Chains A and B, each alone.
Chain A
Amino acid sequence: MSLLEVEGLVKRYPVRQGFLGRAREWFTAVDDVGFTAERGETLALVGESGAGKSTTGRLILRLVEPDAGTVRFDGVDVRALDQPALRTLRRRMQMIFQDPYSSLDPHLPVGESVAEPLHVHFGMSRGERLRRTAELLDVVGISHDVLERYPAELSGGQLQRAAIARALTMKPDLIVADEPVAALDVSVRAQVLNLMLDLQRELGLTYLFITHDLSLVEVIADRAIVMSGGRIVEQGRVEEIFENPREDYTRELLAAIPRPIPMSLRGPAPQPPAVPADVPEQPLARVEAGKD
């Protein structure tokens, strides 16, 4: 059984309200979306702003109520749950947001924010919370002095690590990560992606990774779903999508990835090798797929 099964998911928003607030026109943000995610895999939801990928993520956690469709998490029909049961289930489905500066409470020391779910969900004592929080900070690789500091004092990379630590407090099975590295520098982006890969290997996490950037998908995901205008336009294994995209829209997304090759060095004519053969010290992760 798949960890997550989504079927026929629909979300509409009223765009014009008529007399007595009755909607005259509807905007369909998510239109008949269905897929499954297996335990321990990373499924990427890819598309431009407005494609419906964030809404899909929120519908799965029922942060937004769907208009139609079913979401099964570990066999449980998420839409059928009452609020207390939903809260309990949400321990196992956590979310990480794009902007770490706004997803952590600016008035609380970072340690408090990370520990809060332990109090809310498990009613742990202060001592237990501190111990568990310190453990989690070790897991995500930030030093303990961060516990006492406020979000404004930390860098974007540190904050996103703290947000990941907070998500991990519940020992979740599924993490919905909505553009988790879009607000970060390229160098820090690599740190956070590597961390997510490590955590997945160690804890068997399942990720739903939402992004507009296909270059990240290639690094982190096993399978990808390409969305446009609320609908799924293509889905498959990441290698297949990169090597043999079936839809024009996917091709456009692929073509938009900036290539780390200066313009003057591109072009159809093969170039003579310019890098001396004796220098390789670290493999450079890029360009020539799978060949060393």
Chain B
Amino acid sequence: MSLLSVRDLSVSFRGPGGWVPVTDRVSFDVEAGTTVGLVGESGSGKTVTALSAMGLTRAQGARVTGQVLFDGEDLATLSQRELSTRRGATISMIFQQAIRTLDPAFTVGEQIAESVRRHERVSRKEAWRRAVEMLDRVHIPRAAERAAEYPHTFSGGMCQRAMIAMALACSPKLVFADEPTTALDVTVQARILDLLREIQRDTGIAVVFISHDLGVIAELAQHVVVMYAGQVVERAGVEELFLRPRHPYTAGLLNAIPAVGRGRRLISIPGNVPAPGAMPPGCRFHPRCPHGVTGRCDTGPVDLVEDVRCVRSGEVPLLGIPTPAGARS
């Protein structure tokens, strides 16, 4: 049994003219100790899926259907009170803007200690000791001193480390990492990705890594779930996905990564993700798809068949990354 099994998760928000569906029957599994990359452009429904899996959109009045089976328990049926004992303790989340997620009025150590005391019956002193230990573990130098400092004295990368320390302080089994490196410098990003790999190796935590950038996904994930306009459009192992993408959107995302070979134009995906409530008929990607065919792609809903949502699956040649390590030369 998978550690996390998201089944047909659909989320709607109340709009001026009634309920607006934002995600549509999203399903994927996460095995213990592995990393799943959840990838797609802004507006694909990645964050809503993660927040809903943690019961956080229900708290805001969203309508959520489907199952979120975590460790044999359906989180979607739990009350907010029951969920709050799980969040942070067994399932946790890291956000993009770490500096905005930390409370500027409390020291970094206090905030980590508080999350420990929320879930475990430990003394203040013990909770503080754990906070310092966690900061040390995420490689914040002079952790004991830094724990007593306020978030504004931390750089962007340091804040993200503190955020990771907080998310992991109660040894959860799974963490959702929502674009945790997007706001950071490339060099800092590389160090945070190293840190996540190291923690996963040491603790066996499962990670759902959310990003718009397949280049970052390649650094961490074993499995990839590609989302577009609120739907899963492709699921595959990471090697399979990069070498042989089966959905034109996946191929488009791969092609858009800036070149390491110079002088050639980037291949962009024209247009924008459609807004919720204004989905085109048929395949939601067809207006932007280089392989869209009138009469086939623009009629009727397209189902996810064998982990790909494309009526022309297998008909059109899609190019993945070249096989690495100079095998062609």
Residues in A lying within 8 Å of B, measured CB to CB: 48-49, 155-158, 185-191, 193-194, 197, 212-216, 218-219, 238-239, 242, 252-253, 255-275, 278-291
Contact = CB atoms under 8 A, between A and B. Distances in A.
A264 B174 CA distance: 22
Interface stretch (B85-93, B100-108, B165-173, B207-215): B207-215
A140 to B, nearest CB: 14
B128 interface: no
Contact of B214 (A156, A260, A281): A260
Interface string B217-245: 01111100000000000000011001110
A238 B262 CA distance: 9
Given A187-B212, A290-B262, 6 more contacts: A188-B41, A257-B260, A261-B321, A275-B243, A279-B318, A286-B261
Contact of A285 (B265, B325, B327): B265
A185 B42 contact: yes
Contacts of B256: 186-187, 189-190
Given A218-B259, A286-B321, A264 B238 contact: yes
Interface in B291-329: 317-329
Closest 3 pairs (CB-CB, A-B) = A190-B268, A190-B266, A258-B215
A290 B263 CA distance: 8
Interface of B: 41-43, 155-156, 185-190, 193, 212-216, 218-222, 238-239, 242-244, 252-270, 272-273, 317-329
B263 A288 contact: no
Contact of B254 (A188, A260, A270, A291): A260
Contacts, number: 207
B322 A282 contact: no
B215 A271 contact: no
Contacts of B185: 48-49, 212
Contacts of A219: 258-259, 262, 266
Contact of B156 (A49, A186, A265, A278): A49
A59 to B, nearest CB: 21
Contacts of A280: 317, 319
Contact of A281 (B187, B317, B327): B317
